[in-house]
Amino acid sequence: MSLELTIDTTQKVNVKISPTTDAGTPAKLDGIPVWTADGASTVVPADDGLSAFLVSSDVAGDTTFTVSADADLGAGVTTITGSITLHVIDAQATNLGLSADAPVPKV
């Protein structure tokens, strides 16, 4: 499964995983999912690994995040993965920041 998101350089976004079976019913994982990032943005996983904040870099660009987990609840390992492409765009101006200097004589 994959997800694509766009945020600006001043934002972060929380993403969650909800493991399910092929029939769509909730499923458990063996251990804590692992999150990785390939790009300039960073990931801050929750302690249980079921969610994470994707934190934008200070410059525009794309980062691919991968989350992987063990779906085999026994001694074996069956790795399942998901990916998120985070597009980071430059933040737009929302205020002109008007200001004035102290008055001066006009002559």
* Tens digit of each residue's pLDDT (9 = 90 or more) over 47-62: 999 999 999 999 999 9
**Whole-structure pTM over 0.85, yes or no?**
yes
Structural domains in the chain? Answer: 2-89 (2.60.40.3450)
DSSP β-bridge partners for residue 43: 54
In degrees, to the nearest 5, what angle opens at C-alpha 87 toward C-alphas 86 and 88?
Answer: 110
Residue carrying structure tokens 């063990």: 70
pLDDT tens per residue across span 55-101? 999 999 999 999 999 999 999 999 999 999 999 999 999 999 999 99
> Residue 45's closest CA among 63, 68, 29, 62?
68
